[in-house]
Amino acid sequence: MSTIDEISGCRILVAGPTGQVARPVVARLAQNNEVFALARFSKSEDEAAIQALGATTIAADLASDDLSGLPTDLDYALNYAVVKTGDFDYDLAANGEGAGRLMMACREVRAFVHFSSTAVYQYAGHQPRVESDPLGDNHRMMFPTYSISKIAAETVVRFVAHQFDIPTTIARLSVPYGDNGGWPFFHLLMMKEGIAIDLHPEHPNYYNLLHERDYIDKVPALCAVASPEVTTLNFGGSEQTSIEQWCEYLTELTGLEPLFKDNPQAFGSLAIDTTRMHELIGPTTVAWREGILGMVRSLAPDLLKPGYR
């Protein structure tokens, strides 16, 4: 039995269901639960796709819409919603205030899990980041509003949890990926098109790839460790790897070569210290090479060398 089956027969609200990370979670949870999926559904085809997974859709903008009519008697709420328009007013309203408004609207839940990002950490070279480390505007170069609004969101989430006694977890995602895509898949596409991949000059650029099977399987554990004091933990793969290593493996699988370009403004290493994660929710199980091979088999099988198909 997969650990995700520990949650069944529940009423669960998932915000941000159409995204890269949440879509496979919705697909899995909707098999055994009543799932309510909230997004703006800015691409009309997304709403039908989410309904086809068995979820009930709720079209709402977290930045501004009235959320008082959300379903009651919810067991869990999972907030994967995020927006990166580059407009500070809107992105702070949607990511920051929106997280708080969502919590207020479903404050009777047994657990609220807010998905944050390791993009909240200040760059610190190769040192794996601990949850208490300094925060900073890490992703400014590519996404101007992202780190600041993710930090703001965490603060709003803590405030609302404390005010209304809501058992809450903040999970700082490293690099989620899987058969639904993710950063390594973008790198594969860039390799195919001959587009340069920016790297911080302090090589290698370490991260903790987190496969979708693991981030789905850990949902019950993330809910179980929620507390009104708010449990904040890193959430990445137990194995550390690097952009350089996964691109080298993509070359082994496909023959495509990456075009690396040093750029001191690139994000740089964001490896995580996994101590608290292991204590609270245990290690992950998918080895990164296995996950990358599965991702390419699922999304771009034609690019694989014959021996890997």
Ligand X SMILES: NC(=O)c1ccc[n+]([C@@H]2O[C@H](COP(=O)([O-])OP(=O)(O)OC[C@H]3O[C@@H](n4cnc5c(N)ncnc54)[C@H](OP(=O)(O)O)[C@@H]3O)[C@@H](O)[C@H]2O)c1
Q: Phi first, then psi: give them for residue 195, nearest 5 degrees.
A: -90, 135
Amino acid at site 212: E
56 touches ligand X (CB under 6 A): no
Q: Is 211 in the site for ligand X (CB under 6 A)?
A: no
235 binds ligand X (CB under 6 A): no
Contacts of 228 by beta carbon, 8 Å cutoff, 6+ apart:
161, 162, 165, 166, 167, 168
Q: Rounded distance, CA 76 to CA 223, Å?
A: 8
The residue (of 190 and 304) whose beta carbon lies closer to ligand X is 190
- Does position 82 interact with ligand X (CB under 6 A)? The reply is yes
Please report how close the Cβ of residue 135 comes to ligand X at its closest, in angstroms: 14
Rounded Cα gap, residues 130 and 275, in angstroms: 8
Q: Does 81 bind ligand X (CB under 6 A)?
A: yes
- Does residue 19 touch ligand X according to CB under 6 A? yes
Question: Any contact of residue 53 with ligand X (CB under 6 A)?
Answer: no
How many residues lie near ligand X (CB under 6 A)? 30
If the CB atoms of residues 273 and 304 are measured against ligand X, the closer one turns out to be 273
Rounded Cα distance between 53 and 12, Å, is: 14
* Residues of span 124-163 touching ligand X by CB under 6 A: 150
> Which DSSP string do the residues of 205-264 spell out, in sequence order?
-EE-EEEHHHHHHTHHHHHHT-BTT-EEEEES-SS-EEHHHHHHHHHHHH----EEEE-T
Contact flag: residue 176 with ligand X (CB under 6 A): yes
Considering the rule CB under 6 A, would residue 100 count as an interface residue with ligand X? no
- Cβ proximity to ligand X: between 80 and 112 the closer is 80
Pick from 36, 76, 112, 115: which binds ligand X (CB under 6 A)? 115
Return d(Cα 207, Cα 6) in angstroms, integer.
Answer: 29
- Residue 14's beta-bridge partner residues? 37, 78
39 binds ligand X (CB under 6 A): yes
List residues near ligand X by CB under 6 A: 15-22, 39-42, 46, 61-63, 80-83, 94, 98, 115, 117, 150, 173, 175-176, 182-183
